[in-house]
Chain A
Amino acid sequence: MLKYIFKRIAYMALVMLTVTTITFFLLHLIPGDPITAMVQDLPEETRQNYLAAYGFEQPLGKQYLLYLRQLLTGDLGQSLRYPGRKVADIVANYSPVSALVGGIALLIGVTLGLACGVLAALNRDRWPDRAVMVLALLGTTIPTFVIAALLQYALSVTWPVFPTTGYKGARYLVLPVVCMCVGPLATYARYMRSSMLDVVNADYILTAEAKGLSEGRIVMKHMLRNSLLPCVTMLCVSVAGIFAGSFIVESIFALPGLGRYFISAISDRDYFVVLGLNVVLTGVYVCAILLSDILLMLLDPRIRTGVKA
Protein backbone atom coordinates (compact mmCIF):
# COMPACT_ATOMS: atom_id res chain seq x y z
CA MET A 1 0.00 0.00 0.00
CA LEU A 2 2.82 2.40 0.88
CA LYS A 3 4.57 1.34 -2.28
CA TYR A 4 1.46 2.24 -4.22
CA ILE A 5 1.31 5.68 -2.65
CA PHE A 6 5.00 6.30 -3.39
CA LYS A 7 4.41 5.28 -6.96
CA ARG A 8 1.55 7.74 -7.22
CA ILE A 9 3.67 10.52 -5.72
CA ALA A 10 6.51 9.87 -8.15
CA TYR A 11 4.03 9.91 -10.96
CA MET A 12 2.59 13.17 -9.68
CA ALA A 13 6.06 14.73 -9.64
CA LEU A 14 6.51 13.64 -13.24
CA VAL A 15 3.25 15.29 -14.21
CA MET A 16 4.25 18.50 -12.46
CA LEU A 17 7.62 18.54 -14.19
CA THR A 18 6.06 17.97 -17.60
CA VAL A 19 3.47 20.66 -17.10
CA THR A 20 6.03 23.16 -15.82
CA THR A 21 8.35 22.43 -18.71
CA ILE A 22 5.65 22.75 -21.33
CA THR A 23 4.34 25.97 -19.84
CA PHE A 24 7.80 27.45 -19.52
CA PHE A 25 8.84 26.81 -23.10
CA LEU A 26 5.44 27.82 -24.45
CA LEU A 27 5.70 31.18 -22.75
CA HIS A 28 9.22 31.66 -24.03
CA LEU A 29 8.16 30.83 -27.54
CA ILE A 30 6.30 34.11 -27.69
CA PRO A 31 8.13 36.24 -30.21
CA GLY A 32 10.23 39.02 -28.68
CA ASP A 33 11.17 39.29 -25.04
CA PRO A 34 8.64 39.70 -22.26
CA ILE A 35 9.75 43.25 -21.51
CA THR A 36 9.07 44.48 -25.03
CA ALA A 37 5.84 42.56 -25.07
CA MET A 38 4.68 44.57 -22.09
CA VAL A 39 6.09 48.00 -22.67
CA GLN A 40 6.84 48.93 -26.25
CA ASP A 41 8.78 52.19 -26.23
CA LEU A 42 11.35 51.59 -23.55
CA PRO A 43 14.81 53.12 -23.97
CA GLU A 44 17.22 50.44 -25.19
CA GLU A 45 19.47 50.79 -22.11
CA THR A 46 16.64 50.36 -19.62
CA ARG A 47 15.40 47.41 -21.62
CA GLN A 48 18.77 45.68 -21.41
CA ASN A 49 18.94 46.40 -17.69
CA TYR A 50 15.59 44.80 -17.19
CA LEU A 51 16.52 41.81 -19.31
CA ALA A 52 19.69 41.30 -17.31
CA ALA A 53 17.86 41.73 -14.04
CA TYR A 54 15.41 38.97 -14.90
CA GLY A 55 18.05 36.78 -16.50
CA PHE A 56 16.48 36.94 -19.94
CA GLU A 57 19.79 37.39 -21.74
CA GLN A 58 20.89 33.90 -20.80
CA PRO A 59 20.30 30.89 -23.06
CA LEU A 60 16.85 29.37 -22.77
CA GLY A 61 18.10 26.07 -21.38
CA LYS A 62 19.91 27.81 -18.57
CA GLN A 63 16.89 29.97 -17.80
CA TYR A 64 14.85 26.80 -17.58
CA LEU A 65 17.23 25.18 -15.13
CA LEU A 66 17.37 28.34 -13.08
CA TYR A 67 13.60 28.43 -12.98
CA LEU A 68 13.38 24.82 -11.88
CA ARG A 69 15.91 25.43 -9.12
CA GLN A 70 13.95 28.44 -8.04
CA LEU A 71 10.74 26.37 -7.96
CA LEU A 72 12.40 23.66 -5.91
CA THR A 73 13.37 26.18 -3.26
CA GLY A 74 9.71 27.09 -3.04
CA ASP A 75 9.99 30.39 -4.87
CA LEU A 76 7.19 30.69 -7.41
CA GLY A 77 8.64 33.82 -9.02
CA GLN A 78 7.31 37.32 -9.11
CA SER A 79 5.39 39.72 -11.25
CA LEU A 80 7.07 41.53 -14.13
CA ARG A 81 4.44 44.18 -14.26
CA TYR A 82 4.36 44.95 -10.58
CA PRO A 83 7.94 44.35 -9.43
CA GLY A 84 8.14 42.96 -5.94
CA ARG A 85 4.74 41.32 -6.09
CA LYS A 86 5.42 37.65 -5.51
CA VAL A 87 3.31 34.88 -6.92
CA ALA A 88 3.18 33.25 -3.51
CA ASP A 89 1.74 36.46 -2.06
CA ILE A 90 -0.79 36.69 -4.86
CA VAL A 91 -1.93 33.18 -4.09
CA ALA A 92 -2.05 33.94 -0.38
CA ASN A 93 -4.02 37.14 -0.92
CA TYR A 94 -6.48 36.14 -3.56
CA SER A 95 -7.17 32.47 -3.09
CA PRO A 96 -8.96 32.79 0.30
CA VAL A 97 -11.76 34.74 -1.36
CA SER A 98 -12.03 32.16 -4.12
CA ALA A 99 -11.87 29.34 -1.62
CA LEU A 100 -14.52 30.92 0.60
CA VAL A 101 -17.04 31.59 -2.14
CA GLY A 102 -16.21 28.43 -4.03
CA GLY A 103 -16.15 26.34 -0.87
CA ILE A 104 -19.58 27.43 0.31
CA ALA A 105 -20.98 27.04 -3.18
CA LEU A 106 -19.45 23.60 -3.60
CA LEU A 107 -20.69 22.47 -0.21
CA ILE A 108 -24.25 23.56 -0.95
CA GLY A 109 -24.14 22.39 -4.57
CA VAL A 110 -22.70 18.95 -3.84
CA THR A 111 -24.95 18.28 -0.87
CA LEU A 112 -28.10 19.28 -2.71
CA GLY A 113 -26.92 17.63 -5.90
CA LEU A 114 -26.23 14.30 -4.24
CA ALA A 115 -29.54 14.45 -2.39
CA CYS A 116 -31.38 15.22 -5.61
CA GLY A 117 -29.59 12.37 -7.37
CA VAL A 118 -30.58 9.91 -4.66
CA LEU A 119 -34.14 11.18 -4.67
CA ALA A 120 -34.33 10.82 -8.44
CA ALA A 121 -32.86 7.32 -8.48
CA LEU A 122 -35.18 6.07 -5.74
CA ASN A 123 -38.19 7.46 -7.59
CA ARG A 124 -37.06 6.37 -11.00
CA ASP A 125 -39.38 7.43 -13.82
CA ARG A 126 -41.78 9.11 -11.44
CA TRP A 127 -42.27 12.85 -11.05
CA PRO A 128 -39.43 13.60 -8.57
CA ASP A 129 -37.02 11.92 -10.97
CA ARG A 130 -38.31 13.87 -13.94
CA ALA A 131 -38.27 17.17 -12.06
CA VAL A 132 -34.69 16.64 -10.89
CA MET A 133 -33.53 15.62 -14.34
CA VAL A 134 -35.13 18.61 -16.05
CA LEU A 135 -33.59 20.99 -13.51
CA ALA A 136 -30.21 19.32 -13.79
CA LEU A 137 -30.37 19.57 -17.53
CA LEU A 138 -31.17 23.26 -17.36
CA GLY A 139 -28.40 23.75 -14.82
CA THR A 140 -25.81 22.24 -17.13
CA THR A 141 -26.99 23.98 -20.28
CA ILE A 142 -27.58 27.57 -19.15
CA PRO A 143 -24.24 29.40 -19.13
CA THR A 144 -23.09 30.76 -15.77
CA PHE A 145 -22.98 34.33 -16.99
CA VAL A 146 -26.63 34.19 -17.92
CA ILE A 147 -27.55 32.91 -14.48
CA ALA A 148 -25.39 35.63 -12.96
CA ALA A 149 -27.01 38.32 -15.08
CA LEU A 150 -30.52 37.08 -14.29
CA LEU A 151 -29.75 36.93 -10.57
CA GLN A 152 -28.33 40.43 -10.58
CA TYR A 153 -31.28 41.70 -12.56
CA ALA A 154 -33.87 40.07 -10.30
CA LEU A 155 -32.35 40.36 -6.85
CA SER A 156 -30.35 43.54 -6.96
CA VAL A 157 -31.91 45.72 -9.65
CA THR A 158 -35.61 44.91 -9.66
CA TRP A 159 -35.82 43.98 -5.99
CA PRO A 160 -32.66 45.37 -4.38
CA VAL A 161 -32.20 42.60 -1.83
CA PHE A 162 -28.54 41.91 -2.43
CA PRO A 163 -25.73 44.15 -3.68
CA THR A 164 -24.76 43.77 -7.33
CA THR A 165 -20.99 43.63 -7.08
CA GLY A 166 -18.16 44.00 -4.62
CA TYR A 167 -16.85 42.25 -1.57
CA LYS A 168 -17.64 44.00 1.69
CA GLY A 169 -19.43 41.42 3.76
CA ALA A 170 -21.53 38.31 3.88
CA ARG A 171 -24.41 39.83 1.92
CA TYR A 172 -22.10 40.32 -1.03
CA LEU A 173 -21.44 36.63 -1.19
CA VAL A 174 -25.01 35.44 -1.59
CA LEU A 175 -25.46 35.95 -5.31
CA PRO A 176 -22.03 34.61 -6.34
CA VAL A 177 -22.53 31.56 -4.17
CA VAL A 178 -25.98 30.85 -5.59
CA CYS A 179 -24.60 31.35 -9.07
CA MET A 180 -21.67 29.03 -8.51
CA CYS A 181 -23.56 26.20 -6.86
CA VAL A 182 -25.85 25.67 -9.86
CA GLY A 183 -23.15 23.89 -11.85
CA PRO A 184 -22.08 21.36 -9.19
CA LEU A 185 -25.70 20.82 -8.19
CA ALA A 186 -26.69 19.83 -11.69
CA THR A 187 -23.58 17.76 -12.39
CA TYR A 188 -23.65 15.85 -9.13
CA ALA A 189 -27.38 15.22 -9.38
CA ARG A 190 -26.98 13.62 -12.80
CA TYR A 191 -23.91 11.66 -11.78
CA MET A 192 -25.28 10.45 -8.47
CA ARG A 193 -28.52 9.38 -10.09
CA SER A 194 -26.80 7.17 -12.62
CA SER A 195 -24.36 5.80 -10.07
CA MET A 196 -27.23 5.06 -7.71
CA LEU A 197 -29.24 3.34 -10.44
CA ASP A 198 -26.29 1.00 -11.02
CA VAL A 199 -26.46 0.03 -7.37
CA VAL A 200 -30.25 -0.17 -7.14
CA ASN A 201 -30.26 -2.86 -9.81
CA ALA A 202 -27.38 -4.79 -8.28
CA ASP A 203 -27.99 -8.33 -7.08
CA TYR A 204 -26.80 -7.60 -3.57
CA ILE A 205 -29.66 -5.17 -3.08
CA LEU A 206 -32.01 -8.04 -3.85
CA THR A 207 -30.17 -10.08 -1.22
CA ALA A 208 -30.58 -7.26 1.26
CA GLU A 209 -34.30 -7.16 0.55
CA ALA A 210 -34.56 -10.92 0.86
CA LYS A 211 -32.84 -10.67 4.23
CA GLY A 212 -35.75 -8.60 5.46
CA LEU A 213 -33.81 -5.38 6.02
CA SER A 214 -35.87 -2.23 6.23
CA GLU A 215 -35.89 0.09 3.25
CA GLY A 216 -34.13 2.81 5.22
CA ARG A 217 -31.31 0.51 6.16
CA ILE A 218 -30.89 -0.75 2.62
CA VAL A 219 -30.62 2.80 1.30
CA MET A 220 -28.28 4.02 4.02
CA LYS A 221 -26.03 0.99 4.48
CA HIS A 222 -25.97 -0.64 1.10
CA MET A 223 -26.88 1.85 -1.60
CA LEU A 224 -25.43 5.17 -0.47
CA ARG A 225 -21.92 4.05 0.33
CA ASN A 226 -21.49 2.04 -2.83
CA SER A 227 -22.91 4.69 -5.11
CA LEU A 228 -20.87 7.46 -3.50
CA LEU A 229 -17.61 5.68 -4.29
CA PRO A 230 -17.54 6.67 -7.97
CA CYS A 231 -18.18 10.30 -6.94
CA VAL A 232 -15.00 10.53 -4.84
CA THR A 233 -12.67 11.33 -7.73
CA MET A 234 -14.98 13.97 -9.09
CA LEU A 235 -15.38 15.48 -5.65
CA CYS A 236 -11.64 15.82 -5.13
CA VAL A 237 -11.22 17.54 -8.48
CA SER A 238 -14.06 19.91 -7.60
CA VAL A 239 -12.40 20.76 -4.31
CA ALA A 240 -9.15 21.51 -6.13
CA GLY A 241 -11.11 23.71 -8.51
CA ILE A 242 -12.37 26.05 -5.81
CA PHE A 243 -8.87 27.40 -5.19
CA ALA A 244 -8.57 28.38 -8.80
CA GLY A 245 -11.80 30.27 -8.38
CA SER A 246 -14.41 30.85 -11.00
CA PHE A 247 -13.10 33.14 -13.71
CA ILE A 248 -16.55 34.21 -14.78
CA VAL A 249 -18.39 34.61 -11.50
CA GLU A 250 -15.53 36.50 -9.90
CA SER A 251 -15.31 38.98 -12.73
CA ILE A 252 -19.07 39.52 -12.96
CA PHE A 253 -19.45 40.10 -9.24
CA ALA A 254 -16.10 41.92 -8.94
CA LEU A 255 -14.78 39.57 -6.27
CA PRO A 256 -11.06 39.87 -5.54
CA GLY A 257 -10.39 36.18 -6.16
CA LEU A 258 -7.66 34.21 -7.84
CA GLY A 259 -9.71 33.51 -10.94
CA ARG A 260 -10.17 37.16 -11.72
CA TYR A 261 -6.50 37.82 -11.01
CA PHE A 262 -5.48 35.08 -13.38
CA ILE A 263 -7.50 36.59 -16.20
CA SER A 264 -6.09 40.04 -15.53
CA ALA A 265 -2.55 38.61 -15.47
CA ILE A 266 -3.21 37.13 -18.87
CA SER A 267 -4.50 40.35 -20.35
CA ASP A 268 -1.62 42.22 -18.66
CA ARG A 269 0.80 39.74 -20.21
CA ASP A 270 2.32 39.26 -16.80
CA TYR A 271 3.99 36.04 -17.86
CA PHE A 272 5.78 35.04 -14.71
CA VAL A 273 2.57 35.35 -12.77
CA VAL A 274 0.75 33.24 -15.37
CA LEU A 275 3.53 30.66 -15.18
CA GLY A 276 3.62 30.67 -11.39
CA LEU A 277 -0.14 30.46 -10.98
CA ASN A 278 -0.27 27.71 -13.54
CA VAL A 279 2.27 25.69 -11.55
CA VAL A 280 0.32 26.25 -8.33
CA LEU A 281 -3.06 25.36 -9.80
CA THR A 282 -1.75 22.27 -11.55
CA GLY A 283 -0.09 21.27 -8.30
CA VAL A 284 -3.34 21.57 -6.39
CA TYR A 285 -5.14 19.63 -9.08
CA VAL A 286 -2.60 16.83 -9.15
CA CYS A 287 -2.63 16.63 -5.36
CA ALA A 288 -6.39 16.32 -5.46
CA ILE A 289 -6.15 13.39 -7.84
CA LEU A 290 -3.60 11.75 -5.57
CA LEU A 291 -5.88 12.36 -2.62
CA SER A 292 -8.82 10.80 -4.46
CA ASP A 293 -6.74 7.72 -5.27
CA ILE A 294 -5.79 7.30 -1.63
CA LEU A 295 -9.33 7.96 -0.44
CA LEU A 296 -10.76 5.43 -2.86
CA MET A 297 -8.24 2.91 -1.67
CA LEU A 298 -9.28 3.46 1.92
CA LEU A 299 -12.99 3.36 1.14
CA ASP A 300 -13.15 0.55 -1.39
CA PRO A 301 -11.97 -2.82 -0.08
CA ARG A 302 -11.74 -4.19 -3.62
CA ILE A 303 -9.05 -1.66 -4.53
CA ARG A 304 -7.35 -1.85 -1.14
CA THR A 305 -6.84 -5.60 -1.17
CA GLY A 306 -6.06 -5.49 -4.87
CA VAL A 307 -3.14 -3.19 -4.10
CA LYS A 308 -1.98 -5.31 -1.22
CA ALA A 309 -1.82 -8.43 -3.34
Chain B
Amino acid sequence: MIINGVSIDATFAEAFPMKATRAIITAQNEKWALISAQAMTGFATSVIACGCEGSIERVLAPSETPDGRPGVSVMIFAMGGKGLAKQLETRAGQCVLTSPTAALFAGIDGGIRIPLGKNLRYFGDGFQVSKQISGKRYWRIPVMDGEFLAEATTGQVDAIGGGNFLVLAESQPQALAACEAAIEEMRKIPNVIMPFPGGVVRSGSKVGSKYKTLGASTNDAFCPTLKGMTKTELSPEIESVMEIVIDGLSKEDIEKAMRVGIQAVCDLGAQNGIKRISAGNYGGKLGPFHFHLQEIMA
Protein backbone atom coordinates (compact mmCIF):
# COMPACT_ATOMS: atom_id res chain seq x y z
CA MET B 1 0.00 0.00 0.00
CA ILE B 2 1.38 3.43 -0.97
CA ILE B 3 -0.26 6.73 0.00
CA ASN B 4 1.15 9.91 -1.54
CA GLY B 5 4.43 8.13 -2.14
CA VAL B 6 4.63 6.81 1.43
CA SER B 7 4.80 3.05 1.75
CA ILE B 8 2.57 1.50 4.42
CA ASP B 9 4.12 -1.72 5.70
CA ALA B 10 2.03 -4.90 5.83
CA THR B 11 2.53 -5.19 9.54
CA PHE B 12 0.71 -4.47 12.77
CA ALA B 13 1.10 -2.60 16.03
CA GLU B 14 0.81 -4.82 19.03
CA ALA B 15 -1.00 -3.50 22.12
CA PHE B 16 -1.91 -4.84 25.52
CA PRO B 17 -4.71 -4.44 28.07
CA MET B 18 -4.40 -1.66 30.65
CA LYS B 19 -6.58 0.10 33.21
CA ALA B 20 -7.37 3.76 32.66
CA THR B 21 -8.92 6.72 34.37
CA ARG B 22 -9.65 10.31 33.55
CA ALA B 23 -9.64 13.39 35.77
CA ILE B 24 -10.66 16.96 35.08
CA ILE B 25 -8.55 19.76 36.48
CA THR B 26 -9.99 23.25 36.58
CA ALA B 27 -8.40 26.49 37.68
CA GLN B 28 -8.85 30.24 37.69
CA ASN B 29 -7.68 30.32 34.08
CA GLU B 30 -6.48 27.95 31.36
CA LYS B 31 -2.85 28.75 32.10
CA TRP B 32 -3.05 27.41 35.65
CA ALA B 33 -5.21 24.44 34.69
CA LEU B 34 -2.55 23.48 32.14
CA ILE B 35 0.29 23.99 34.61
CA SER B 36 -1.41 21.67 37.06
CA ALA B 37 -2.22 19.08 34.38
CA GLN B 38 1.31 19.14 33.02
CA ALA B 39 2.68 18.58 36.51
CA MET B 40 0.26 15.72 37.13
CA THR B 41 1.13 13.95 33.89
CA GLY B 42 4.85 14.65 34.07
CA PHE B 43 7.20 11.64 34.19
CA ALA B 44 4.40 9.41 32.92
CA THR B 45 5.72 8.39 29.54
CA SER B 46 5.97 4.63 29.97
CA VAL B 47 4.89 2.00 32.45
CA ILE B 48 8.38 0.52 32.09
CA ALA B 49 9.77 2.94 34.66
CA CYS B 50 7.15 5.58 35.47
CA GLY B 51 4.48 3.35 36.98
CA CYS B 52 1.91 4.73 34.58
CA GLU B 53 1.39 6.46 31.28
CA GLY B 54 -0.42 9.76 31.34
CA SER B 55 -1.04 12.86 29.33
CA ILE B 56 -3.37 15.73 28.73
CA GLU B 57 -6.32 14.58 26.65
CA ARG B 58 -7.63 18.04 25.77
CA VAL B 59 -8.35 21.54 27.02
CA LEU B 60 -11.95 22.06 28.17
CA ALA B 61 -14.07 25.18 27.78
CA PRO B 62 -15.69 26.54 30.97
CA SER B 63 -19.04 25.23 29.74
CA GLU B 64 -17.65 21.69 29.77
CA THR B 65 -16.36 21.65 33.35
CA PRO B 66 -18.28 20.93 36.55
CA ASP B 67 -17.48 24.28 38.18
CA GLY B 68 -17.71 26.45 35.07
CA ARG B 69 -14.02 27.36 35.05
CA PRO B 70 -11.43 26.65 32.34
CA GLY B 71 -10.22 23.09 32.60
CA VAL B 72 -8.05 20.31 31.26
CA SER B 73 -8.86 16.64 30.93
CA VAL B 74 -6.04 14.22 31.77
CA MET B 75 -5.90 10.47 31.34
CA ILE B 76 -3.73 8.00 33.21
CA PHE B 77 -3.11 4.39 32.20
CA ALA B 78 -1.48 1.62 34.23
CA MET B 79 -1.06 -2.13 34.00
CA GLY B 80 -3.40 -2.82 36.94
CA GLY B 81 -6.10 -1.18 39.03
CA LYS B 82 -4.05 -0.98 42.21
CA GLY B 83 -1.12 0.68 40.49
CA LEU B 84 -3.44 3.08 38.73
CA ALA B 85 -5.13 4.12 41.98
CA LYS B 86 -1.78 4.66 43.66
CA GLN B 87 -0.41 6.75 40.80
CA LEU B 88 -3.58 8.82 40.55
CA GLU B 89 -3.64 9.61 44.23
CA THR B 90 0.05 10.44 44.48
CA ARG B 91 -0.02 12.66 41.45
CA ALA B 92 -3.27 14.38 42.48
CA GLY B 93 -1.84 15.02 45.93
CA GLN B 94 1.51 16.37 44.81
CA CYS B 95 0.54 18.16 41.62
CA VAL B 96 -3.09 19.31 41.81
CA LEU B 97 -3.65 19.82 45.53
CA THR B 98 -0.52 21.96 45.50
CA SER B 99 -1.38 23.93 42.37
CA PRO B 100 -2.88 27.41 42.96
CA THR B 101 -6.64 27.71 42.39
CA ALA B 102 -6.92 24.14 41.04
CA ALA B 103 -9.92 21.87 41.60
CA LEU B 104 -10.17 18.21 40.67
CA PHE B 105 -13.15 16.29 39.33
CA ALA B 106 -13.94 12.83 37.99
CA GLY B 107 -13.68 12.41 34.25
CA ILE B 108 -15.38 9.01 34.09
CA ASP B 109 -18.76 8.51 35.76
CA GLY B 110 -19.06 4.73 35.40
CA GLY B 111 -16.56 1.96 35.98
CA ILE B 112 -14.94 0.88 39.22
CA ARG B 113 -14.62 3.81 41.61
CA ILE B 114 -11.09 4.71 42.67
CA PRO B 115 -10.11 7.46 45.10
CA LEU B 116 -9.51 10.95 43.78
CA GLY B 117 -10.03 13.33 46.70
CA LYS B 118 -11.27 10.60 49.06
CA ASN B 119 -7.96 10.19 50.88
CA LEU B 120 -6.49 13.59 50.05
CA ARG B 121 -9.11 14.98 52.39
CA TYR B 122 -6.99 14.01 55.37
CA PHE B 123 -4.65 16.82 54.41
CA GLY B 124 -7.41 19.01 55.82
CA ASP B 125 -6.49 17.79 59.30
CA GLY B 126 -10.08 17.60 60.45
CA PHE B 127 -11.12 20.91 58.90
CA GLN B 128 -12.16 19.24 55.62
CA VAL B 129 -15.82 19.43 54.68
CA SER B 130 -17.79 16.89 52.69
CA LYS B 131 -20.58 17.91 50.33
CA GLN B 132 -22.81 15.48 48.51
CA ILE B 133 -24.29 17.16 45.44
CA SER B 134 -26.46 15.34 42.89
CA GLY B 135 -25.25 11.98 44.18
CA LYS B 136 -21.56 12.87 43.96
CA ARG B 137 -19.39 13.43 46.99
CA TYR B 138 -16.98 16.34 47.01
CA TRP B 139 -14.33 17.22 49.55
CA ARG B 140 -13.55 20.81 50.42
CA ILE B 141 -10.05 20.91 51.83
CA PRO B 142 -8.87 24.17 53.37
CA VAL B 143 -5.57 25.32 51.87
CA MET B 144 -3.64 28.54 52.06
CA ASP B 145 -5.13 30.05 48.86
CA GLY B 146 -8.70 29.23 49.92
CA GLU B 147 -10.25 25.82 49.40
CA PHE B 148 -9.18 22.83 47.32
CA LEU B 149 -12.30 21.18 45.93
CA ALA B 150 -11.95 17.55 44.88
CA GLU B 151 -14.51 14.96 43.88
CA ALA B 152 -14.16 11.89 46.10
CA THR B 153 -13.76 9.29 43.35
CA THR B 154 -13.39 8.83 39.64
CA GLY B 155 -13.98 5.84 37.38
CA GLN B 156 -11.51 3.16 36.38
CA VAL B 157 -12.19 1.35 33.11
CA ASP B 158 -10.54 -1.29 30.93
CA ALA B 159 -8.34 0.22 28.26
CA ILE B 160 -5.60 -0.55 25.75
CA GLY B 161 -2.01 0.63 25.77
CA GLY B 162 0.79 0.45 23.28
CA GLY B 163 -0.89 1.23 19.96
CA ASN B 164 1.84 2.69 17.78
CA PHE B 165 3.25 3.50 14.39
CA LEU B 166 6.72 4.38 13.16
CA VAL B 167 7.56 7.21 10.80
CA LEU B 168 10.59 6.48 8.61
CA ALA B 169 12.08 9.55 6.95
CA GLU B 170 15.10 10.71 5.00
CA SER B 171 16.17 13.10 7.75
CA GLN B 172 15.61 13.81 11.42
CA PRO B 173 13.88 17.21 10.85
CA GLN B 174 11.53 15.64 8.31
CA ALA B 175 10.63 12.78 10.67
CA LEU B 176 9.93 15.22 13.47
CA ALA B 177 7.86 17.55 11.27
CA ALA B 178 5.74 14.59 10.17
CA CYS B 179 5.23 13.44 13.77
CA GLU B 180 4.25 16.96 14.83
CA ALA B 181 1.64 17.05 12.08
CA ALA B 182 0.34 13.65 13.16
CA ILE B 183 0.12 14.62 16.83
CA GLU B 184 -1.77 17.80 16.01
CA GLU B 185 -4.47 15.75 14.30
CA MET B 186 -4.46 12.91 16.83
CA ARG B 187 -5.04 15.28 19.75
CA LYS B 188 -8.44 16.07 18.25
CA ILE B 189 -9.53 12.46 18.84
CA PRO B 190 -11.20 11.86 22.24
CA ASN B 191 -10.36 8.98 24.59
CA VAL B 192 -6.71 8.67 23.52
CA ILE B 193 -3.40 10.01 24.74
CA MET B 194 0.09 9.98 23.29
CA PRO B 195 2.11 9.80 26.52
CA PHE B 196 5.66 10.47 25.32
CA PRO B 197 7.24 13.94 25.23
CA GLY B 198 5.23 15.99 22.77
CA GLY B 199 3.54 12.73 21.82
CA VAL B 200 6.64 11.42 20.05
CA VAL B 201 9.24 8.84 21.10
CA ARG B 202 12.63 8.58 19.45
CA SER B 203 13.81 5.58 21.48
CA GLY B 204 11.46 2.81 20.50
CA SER B 205 12.30 -0.41 22.29
CA LYS B 206 12.36 -4.12 21.69
CA VAL B 207 11.59 -6.70 24.34
CA GLY B 208 14.73 -7.99 26.13
CA SER B 209 18.40 -7.10 26.12
CA LYS B 210 21.82 -8.66 26.12
CA TYR B 211 21.96 -7.43 29.72
CA LYS B 212 19.96 -9.80 31.89
CA THR B 213 18.57 -7.13 34.21
CA LEU B 214 16.98 -5.13 31.39
CA GLY B 215 13.51 -6.03 30.16
CA ALA B 216 13.66 -3.67 27.20
CA SER B 217 16.39 -2.19 25.06
CA THR B 218 16.86 -0.11 21.93
CA ASN B 219 15.01 -1.28 18.85
CA ASP B 220 18.26 -1.84 16.90
CA ALA B 221 16.44 -3.00 13.77
CA PHE B 222 15.12 0.56 13.38
CA CYS B 223 18.25 2.45 14.50
CA PRO B 224 19.66 4.16 11.41
CA THR B 225 23.24 4.29 12.72
CA LEU B 226 23.25 0.50 13.07
CA LYS B 227 22.26 -0.24 9.49
CA GLY B 228 25.57 -1.98 8.81
CA MET B 229 25.81 -3.76 12.15
CA THR B 230 22.48 -5.42 12.80
CA LYS B 231 19.61 -7.14 11.04
CA THR B 232 18.20 -3.82 9.98
CA GLU B 233 14.66 -2.99 8.86
CA LEU B 234 15.83 0.19 7.17
CA SER B 235 16.68 0.89 3.57
CA PRO B 236 19.78 2.99 2.82
CA GLU B 237 17.92 6.31 2.38
CA ILE B 238 16.27 6.18 5.84
CA GLU B 239 18.16 8.39 8.26
CA SER B 240 15.65 8.83 11.09
CA VAL B 241 12.77 6.90 12.64
CA MET B 242 10.32 8.22 15.21
CA GLU B 243 7.43 6.47 16.90
CA ILE B 244 4.05 7.61 18.13
CA VAL B 245 2.59 5.52 20.96
CA ILE B 246 -1.14 5.64 21.62
CA ASP B 247 -3.09 4.58 24.70
CA GLY B 248 -6.86 4.59 24.39
CA LEU B 249 -10.07 3.55 26.04
CA SER B 250 -11.03 1.20 23.20
CA LYS B 251 -9.65 -0.46 20.08
CA GLU B 252 -11.83 1.81 17.94
CA ASP B 253 -10.45 4.96 19.60
CA ILE B 254 -6.87 3.86 18.94
CA GLU B 255 -7.66 2.90 15.34
CA LYS B 256 -9.23 6.29 14.76
CA ALA B 257 -6.21 8.07 16.19
CA MET B 258 -3.79 5.95 14.16
CA ARG B 259 -5.77 6.61 11.00
CA VAL B 260 -5.73 10.41 11.32
CA GLY B 261 -2.10 10.39 12.45
CA ILE B 262 -0.85 8.24 9.59
CA GLN B 263 -2.96 10.25 7.15
CA ALA B 264 -1.39 13.50 8.39
CA VAL B 265 2.07 11.99 7.87
CA CYS B 266 1.15 10.74 4.42
CA ASP B 267 -0.26 14.15 3.48
CA LEU B 268 3.29 15.49 3.77
CA GLY B 269 4.26 12.66 1.46
CA ALA B 270 7.45 11.43 -0.14
CA GLN B 271 8.29 14.93 -1.41
CA ASN B 272 8.88 15.91 2.24
CA GLY B 273 11.18 12.97 2.86
CA ILE B 274 8.65 10.59 4.41
CA LYS B 275 9.33 7.14 3.02
CA ARG B 276 7.54 4.52 5.09
CA ILE B 277 5.10 3.90 7.91
CA SER B 278 5.74 0.82 9.98
CA ALA B 279 4.75 -0.40 13.43
CA GLY B 280 6.23 -2.09 16.48
CA ASN B 281 5.23 -5.64 17.15
CA TYR B 282 6.76 -8.56 18.89
CA GLY B 283 5.35 -11.37 16.82
CA GLY B 284 2.12 -11.38 18.82
CA LYS B 285 3.91 -12.27 22.06
CA LEU B 286 3.30 -8.98 23.86
CA GLY B 287 -0.39 -8.32 23.66
CA PRO B 288 -3.71 -9.49 22.24
CA PHE B 289 -4.60 -6.29 20.39
CA HIS B 290 -3.21 -6.09 16.83
CA PHE B 291 -3.62 -2.91 14.78
CA HIS B 292 -2.90 -3.78 11.14
CA LEU B 293 -1.71 -0.65 9.39
CA GLN B 294 -3.04 -1.47 5.94
CA GLU B 295 -6.48 -2.42 7.32
CA ILE B 296 -6.66 0.84 9.25
CA MET B 297 -5.71 2.90 6.20
CA ALA B 298 -7.87 0.95 3.73
Whether A and B are associated in the same complex: the answer reads no
Residues of A within 8 A of B (CB): none
